[in-house]
Amino acid sequence: MWRSGWRTSGVLRRLSGRSASLGAWRWASTTACERALLRYRVGEKIHGFTVSQVTSVPELTLTAVKLSHDGTGAQHLHLAREDRNNLFSVQFRTAPADSSGAPHVLEHTVLCGSQRYPCRDPFFKMLNRSLSTFMNAFTASDYTLYPFSTQNPKDFQNLLSVYLDAAFFPCLRELDFCQEGWRLEHEDPSDPQTPLVFKGVVFNEMKGAFTDNERIFSQHVQSRLLPDHTYSVVSGGDPLCIPDLTWEQLRQFHATHYHPSNARFFTYGNFPLEQHLKQIHEEALSKFQRIKPRTAVPAQKPWDKPREFQVTCAPDSLAAGSSEQTTISVSFLLPEYNGCTRDAYFSVGLQGIAEKDIQTVRDLVDRTLDDIIEKGFEDDRIEALLHKIEIQMKHQSVSFGLALTSYIASCWNHDGDPVELLKLGSQVARFRKCLEENPKFLQEKVKQYFKNNQHKLTLSMKPDDKYSEKQMQLETEKLKQKVNSLSPEDKQQIYEKGLELQAQQSQPQDASCLPALKVSDIEPRIPFTEVEVALAAGDTPVQYCTQPTNGVIYFRAFSSLNTLPEELRPYVPLFCNVLTKLGCGGLDYRELAQQVDLKTGGLAAAPHVLPDDSHLDTYEQGVLFSSFCLDRNLPDMMHLWSEIFNNPCFEEEEHFRVLVKMTAQELSNGVPDAGHLYASIRAGRMLAPAGDLQETFGGMDQVRLMKSVAEMTDIKPILRKLPRIKKHLLNCDNFRCSVNATPQQMSQVENSVDSFLRTLSRSKKERKPVPPHVVEVRLCPLPARRARKPSESKPCSLAFDPVLPCSHLSLAVKSPDWRATWAGDAAASELEASRRCTLTLIVSSVHFLERTLPAHLSLGVFSFLWETFYFQKPAPKGPGRHSLVTRKLVMDPTFKPCPMKTHFLFPFPVNYVAECIRTAPYAAPAHASLKILARLMTAKFLHTEIREKGGAYGGGARLSYGGIFTLYSYRDPHSTETLQSFLKAIDWAKSGRFTQQDINEAKLSVFAAVDAPVAPSDKGLDCFLYGLSDEVKQAHREQLFAIRHEDLVDVSNRYLGAGRSTHGVAVLGPDNASIAKDPSWVIR
């Protein structure tokens, strides 16, 4: 994977990283931290390493241990912290001299087999033989990083062995270089009469990367601001230069750069350091001698005067206004600071402006600098920044080890002190002292590094209508040049090598040499999370989850959209995006932004479509509000929410216009990196009622809508929609809340949340829901202050019942003599198996409704039963901790899934392809089989067909919580051919051509995702949003364990085969003649 320097996140973002579900509980970190502090001494020898530094970093609750390897000089940093999610990484300084992509191609190729593990592609095979929480590799501008993480000690040793052998003893076979890097090959490898073309995974990856205008611009900024050395070239590879790289050059690059003397090892977590050092020394470092690597990157020579350049890019068909697609930035070299390159730099600019406004932006930057030098910064702005650092140090990162290794990588790569970089608390203290001693400290720095800095670059980029055509022409000329230089013998050799590669890719691989965990290594049960539910402000349910949140309080609220008029729904994402940015109460948008930074870790709102776990045609729609703060700031945070809900400012038209343009631009920028997701959303649009709303909220429809809104000359009609949406959304009518905090904070939290809710408005009369059928689902909470054990469960209406053999929402019909004689044998046997005094009717079981009744009738029966047999359990006594959480689910008894094929035309050189299939919801037994099947198809068929043979950067299969089975490809040179590969994959699955070992590996991979650690901030979130209890998750877990070969073949035939379930297809990419001729496709 290639990382461009411009997009490397800042310190705070990398340390907070909330995108995955990997937890780090800092509150309990003292054990590993103190153990390391007491155990290690400077000068101590451990398995060929010598300890050089032992330092406590209390602000991150860890102990840093620095070592060096005696024989090779390799550096090692261990961060001891009480986190089960342990991480390893090794990085090499890799400074390329040209844009042929040597470090990037090498990153791919070393993972294709090694001396100890010579099978093809051990990296991808280990994804299915491990319980890793993360595995990947990254090529940055001047280093290459290989990280993995896992919670299992045995798994850590297995992965470490594979990574060490791959990095230091790779096979680097020529055919692997051809597959991963680039090659000349016939369009049809088996037909020498077809034209020769460029192929290769990295080649196609970089073609896709440079369809992103942001990435093009960032690369130009770096290469032109730092032109004297490695940053002037593209480390990932320029598609026009990648074909200049030879296999011998690749091997030489490895020999000079992948040596222990040029390596930096990193370990993190609570596993013993000694075992890591012993394995690293014995399996790798003991086999090398110290060398003096010649990989240092020299400092950039400063300029004596500013420079400016203009470059071009392709027009953005999704951006607002063809005349306003110019980008400009002003950048400064900052040689004394840490950044993503040897010499850091600072850039500020604007995107989406008219070319005539370039000078206006330059003047604005200059005026702003002058103003700061003269007046300085407001104290509150400085405090807001320092508060942000404080809260991010306390915030429970979801993958802390990975964030740390990424954070220190660049500094350490250039011989900086990574431990000093981690001491954020002392850095803040020094900063405060500097300000105290010299109130003009910041003004002087601005003057020094910006106003008086002659190393200043002004770069602008404007669209060129013929840009893509020119790039294609350059590639054609490059190909022609390569082909014309070939002799007949060369062409014959290319043909034979293509056949050889095709044969190798098709040959079954023996992976028995690779280490692997067993299914028996997986924990049989999940740890239960205790949650409570109480009524606040009268009748609003609030879920409380006590967690070690390190003094941070996490608040969420969910508001239903059921009463919102249909014509307003497309504007809900925009409403959410601007709600916290337009000002409120007595605060304008600038003052609100400052208060948010000063008092919280951020306020956010986002639309959600939440599928039901029991029926494909049922879902919940709403908006999730979320925020977090230090405990001392809780009243301030809730006051901000109160002002936003009650007194939002919808009058600032000009700022609203700016936010609209920013939103449209961000959506447009995201398409090249997430094209497969947009294709998947479109392909699933007509398969379930929730699909259309998902497309409206987050698909290409939303991207195109925001483009049209941003182009409007009069934006008042859109602005007037916001108060209308507010009336339906920002009230207590259909509202529930959730809080995660420590036990000591809960009393304060309850009072603050109750006060907040009492400020919210309520409708004087009940609004009718807009969807035709809305069903209320009440879920019984767990008993207060303790987790419910299965043996303690009691029958209650619409509760998750852990005793039942299947995991569905159930209806308790309080009549022991009543019999559902029409339910069929499958349902009856399940009812008998429950052995309950009350009869539990499973109304959403696939085995019952979807097999015995037509879809429209099953929904009708479902709705009828829900309304007819709804009985409520008597409320337990107690002070408000017995309330039921109500979810209002949308149903459409008239919905019928239908197939749809859509081709979105983009001037991309690659495609994003998706095919979606309607299958079974989470609670259905078939869902577990389909989840295993998706992983099995990815690892054992689609990876080979789409990536290795097809040359796409990625591809596979996945199953959504809502039961949509998706086959997809990413940055794919093919489209219709890939759709044929999807058909072959389904045939392969139906035929059952996989072994028990294959199934076990798929289970390991699935459980690695299922058991990924969850941050304290997110504990109980599935229960809050989906009503998904730990008992239901445990039942699903047991279904996963029980999957057999025949189950997988059965669901393949029952759901995936032609005519069995409804399919939807979507492609994002260039014009395709065969699609254009097919009338079944919709061209957009």
Q: What is the pLDDT of residue 348?
A: 96
- Tally of CB atoms within 10 A around 229: 19
| pLDDT over 60 (residue 807) | no
Give the angle subtended at the CA of 55 by the CAs of 49 and 56, to the nearest 5°: 135
Q: What is the pLDDT of residue 382?
A: 95
Beta-sheet strands, E only, within 151-244 = 183-186, 196-199
Distance CA 232, CA 209 (A): 18
Q: What is the pLDDT of residue 859?
A: 37
- Tally of CB atoms within 10 A around 980: 11
Distance CA 435, CA 438 (A): 5
* Class of residue 816 by CB neighbours under 10 A (exposed 0-12, middle 13-18, buried 19+): exposed
The pLDDT tens digits of the residues spanning 118-130 come to 998 899 999 999 9
Task: State whether the Cα torsion 235-111-912-178 is positive or negative.
Answer: positive
Q: What is the pLDDT of residue 317?
A: 82
Confidence of residue 825 (pLDDT cuts 50, 70, 90): very low
- Tally of CB atoms within 10 A around 38: 10
| pLDDT over 50 (residue 246) | yes
Q: What is the pLDDT of residue 609?
A: 97
Distance CA 663, CA 706 (A): 7
Task: Please check whether residue 1069 is in contact with residue 912, taking contact to mean a CB–CB distance below 8 angstroms.
Answer: yes
| pLDDT over 90 (residue 1) | no
Task: Please check whether residue 123 is in contact with residue 132, taking contact to mean a CB–CB distance below 8 angstroms.
Answer: no
Distance CA 77, CA 70 (A): 15
Residue for token pair 């044929």: 980
Stretch (H or E) spanning 527: none
| pLDDT over 60 (residue 46) | yes
Q: Dig out the tokens for 162 from the structure.
A: 């594979």
Query: Which residues, 6+ apart, have CB-to-CB distance to 515 below 8 Å?
Result: 129, 157, 158, 161, 162
- Could you tell me how many residues make up the chain? 1084
* Class of residue 452 by CB neighbours under 10 A (exposed 0-12, middle 13-18, buried 19+): exposed
| pLDDT over 60 (residue 1011) | yes
For the annotated catalytic residues, the residue numbers are: 107, 180
Mean pLDDT, residues 166-174: 97
Annotate 832-882 with DSSP letters as a single string. Answer: HHH--SSEEE-SS-IIIIIHHS-HHHHHHHHHHHHHHS--PPPPPPSSS--
| pLDDT over 60 (residue 823) | no
- Tally of CB atoms within 10 A around 265: 23
Q: Which residues pair with 46 in a beta bridge?
A: 49
Q: Which residues pair with 121 in a beta bridge?
A: none
Task: Please check whether residue 953 is in contact with residue 208, taking contact to mean a CB–CB distance below 8 angstroms.
Answer: yes
- Tally of CB atoms within 10 A around 350: 15
The pLDDT tens digits of the residues spanning 988-1007 come to 999 999 999 999 999 999 99
Q: Which residues pair with 955 in a beta bridge?
A: 969
Distance CA 857, CA 893 (A): 8
Could you tell me what percent of the chain has a pLDDT over 90?
80
Q: Which is more confident, 485 or 821?
A: 485
Packing angle of the helix pair 572-579, 653-670 (nearest 10 deg): 120
Q: What is the pLDDT of residue 5?
A: 53
Give Cα separations from 1072 to 207, 715, 913, 1076 (angstroms): 18, 37, 13, 6
Distance CA 547, CA 48 (A): 41
Distance CA 325, CA 461 (A): 8
Give Cα separations from 91 to 140, 264, 287, 400 (angstroms): 10, 5, 18, 18
Q: What is the pLDDT of residue 991?
A: 96
Give Cα separations from 13 to 10, 389, 400 (angstroms): 5, 10, 11
Confidence of residue 772 (pLDDT cuts 50, 70, 90): low
| pLDDT over 70 (residue 1049) | yes
Q: What is the pLDDT of residue 775?
A: 83
Task: Please check whether residue 626 is in contact with residue 580, taking contact to mean a CB–CB distance below 8 angstroms.
Answer: no
Q: Which residues pair with 964 in a beta bridge?
A: 918
Confidence of residue 322 (pLDDT cuts 50, 70, 90): confident
Stretch (H or E) spanning 971: strand 964-972
**CA neighbor of 70 nearest in space, from 53, 51, 54:** 51
The pLDDT tens digits of the residues spanning 413-449 come to 999 999 999 999 999 999 999 999 999 999 999 999 9
Confidence of residue 17 (pLDDT cuts 50, 70, 90): very low
Of the listed ranges 8-22, 189-203, 576-590, the least confidently predicted one is: 8-22
Distance CA 88, CA 168 (A): 15
Distance CA 658, CA 1039 (A): 50
Confidence of residue 30 (pLDDT cuts 50, 70, 90): low
**CA neighbor of 104 nearest in space, from 112, 115, 113, 96:** 96
Q: What is the pLDDT of residue 323?
A: 81
Q: What is the pLDDT of residue 886?
A: 81
Q: Which is more confident, 410 or 734?
A: 410
**CA neighbor of 587 nearest in space, from 630, 635, 640:** 640
- DSSP, res 187: S
Instruction: Give the predicted TM-score (pTM) of the model.
Output: 0.86
Q: What is the pLDDT of residue 319?
A: 76
| pLDDT over 50 (residue 840) | no
Give the angle subtended at the CA of 901 by the CAs of 897 and 904, to the nearest 5°: 130
Mean pLDDT, residues 400-412: 95
SS3 assignment, position 598: helix
Instruction: Compute the mean pLDDT over every residue in the chain, rounded to the nearest whole number.
Output: 87
**Cα 728 from chain centroid (whole Å):** 31
Report CA Rg, the chain: 30
| pLDDT over 50 (residue 549) | yes
Task: Please check whether residue 541 is in contact with residue 880, taking contact to mean a CB–CB distance below 8 angstroms.
Answer: no
CB-based burial, 540-569: b 16+ in 10 Å, e otherwise: bbbbbbbbbbbbbbbbbbbbbbbbbeeebb
864: left (phi over 0), alpha (psi -120 to 50) or beta: alpha
Mean pLDDT, residues 816-833: 30
Give the angle subtended at the CA of 353 by the CAs of 347 and 359, to the nearest 5°: 70
The pLDDT tens digits of the residues spanning 679-702 come to 999 999 999 999 999 999 999 999
Q: What is the pLDDT of residue 1068?
A: 96
| pLDDT over 90 (residue 804) | no
The pLDDT tens digits of the residues spanning 894-914 come to 899 999 999 999 989 999 999
* Beta-strand relationship, 1063-1069 and 900-905: parallel
Q: Which residues pair with 203 in a beta bridge?
A: none
| pLDDT over 70 (residue 368) | yes
* Class of residue 1043 by CB neighbours under 10 A (exposed 0-12, middle 13-18, buried 19+): buried
Confidence of residue 397 (pLDDT cuts 50, 70, 90): confident
Confidence of residue 882 (pLDDT cuts 50, 70, 90): very low
Q: Which residues pair with 65 in a beta bridge?
A: 54, 78
| pLDDT over 90 (residue 801) | no
Annotate 732-755 with DSSP letters as a single string. Answer: STTEEEEEEE-GGGHHHHHHHHHH
Give the angle subtended at the CA of 421 by the CAs of 416 and 424, to the nearest 5°: 165
Q: Which is more confident, 1043 or 859?
A: 1043
Distance CA 109, CA 952 (A): 15
| pLDDT over 90 (residue 146) | yes
Q: Which is more confident, 783 or 820?
A: 783
Mean pLDDT, residues 92-117: 97
| pLDDT over 80 (residue 94) | yes
Could you tell me what percent of the chain has a pLDDT over 70?
87
